[in-house]
Amino acid sequence: MFIQLLMNGIALGSVYALTAIGYSLIYSILQLINMSNAAVFLTSSVVFYLLYNSVSKGMIFVTFILTLAFAGCLGYIIELVAIRPIREKGDGNTYALISSIGVKTILEKVCQGAFGSEIHPFPTLLAGKNIVLWDGTKIEWIQIIIIVASLLILTVMTWYTQNTRTGRGLRSLSQNLNACHLMGMPVNRLIGISFAVGSMLAAVSGVAYCMYLKSISISVGAAIGNKAFAATVLGGIGILKGSVVGGFILAIIECFVSGYGNSTASQFISFGILIVMLFIKPTGLFGKKEQRKV
């Protein structure tokens, strides 16, 4: 049972980590909590479901590529329409936060109107296939696929930010946005790319999570969005590796609490840990105190 719960936690943690990176990526650049990220998670899952059952006619890989393209475009449009005008006017992040909440509400209502409130079966890779270990533990193939795919994506993200021109540009923005403006860097384009990348990560985690559950409902985005945000704050908001570690910690603890204790209590454990962390170390596990001159 221990191995089973551990695998469940790692698979779920992969979903949390990918979604949390989207929060941290935007925050590291703009100091903005992008509340629309959870709605992109939901919208991408709904789009995948609709495409799979209509346009791509059951081809999972083609459907996945189309969903990623949609999520990237959606993230760029959100920044262009809802965030950039406020940022260029210098109205501050409070108004941008409110705008992202408005986008989140609009996307959720559109999904609810197009998709309904019912629970629908979701297409899954290698459905019903599993590996039986020496102690009789059954590990589903979809769990292994999610873990391997997530680790691969996290590795590519690390390489991308460290070794590509765009990645170095994003890191520069996170250090000093105003200096990047003065140096003539394409700041707007880079910020748009960061929103697109964050949205694509949310799409990957949304599809993976629904495959893990083998179902989809309109409430899936809010549930994971809250957990991913808690993971982001736990690891240190704005720090990518902190988001990853925070996601795995929360998911593994949740699975063990649910397996050995009370499944209802596991739904509250994330925010209980978050509150304790805010008392002990408000900057998160990897965060550091910043001194700002005024």
Give the pLDDT band (50/70/90) at residue 27.
confident
Of the chain, the percentage scoring pLDDT greater than 90 comes to 17
pLDDT digits (tens, 9 = 90+) for 248-266: 988 888 888 887 777 677 6
pLDDT digits (tens, 9 = 90+) for 63-89: 999 999 999 999 999 999 999 998 888
Q: Under DSSP, is residue 35 helix (H, G, I), strand (E, B) or coil?
A: coil
**Residue range 145-161: mean pLDDT, rounded:** 85
pLDDT digits (tens, 9 = 90+) for 165-190: 888 888 888 888 788 888 888 888 99
Query: What single-letter amino acid sits at 11?
Result: A
**Residue range 95-105: mean pLDDT, rounded:** 91
pLDDT of residue 230: 85
Distance CA 289, CA 68 (A): 36
User: Are the beta carbons of 35 and 99 closer than 8 angstroms?
Assistant: no
Phi, psi of 138 (to 5 degrees): -105, 120
Distance CA 289, CA 27 (A): 16
Nearest CA to 236 among 178, 190, 282?
282
Only one residue has tokens 């990897």, namely 286
Nearest CA to 43 among 215, 218, 196, 230?
218
pLDDT of residue 294: 42
Give the pLDDT band (50/70/90) at residue 153.
confident
Number of residues assigned to the chain: 294
Over 80: is that where the pLDDT of 244 sits?
yes
Contacts of 171 (CB under 8 A, 6+ apart): 161
Q: Under DSSP, is residue 12 helix (H, G, I), strand (E, B) or coil?
A: helix
Distance CA 185, CA 264 (A): 49
Give the chain's domains with CATH numbers: 2-116+143-280 (1.10.3470)
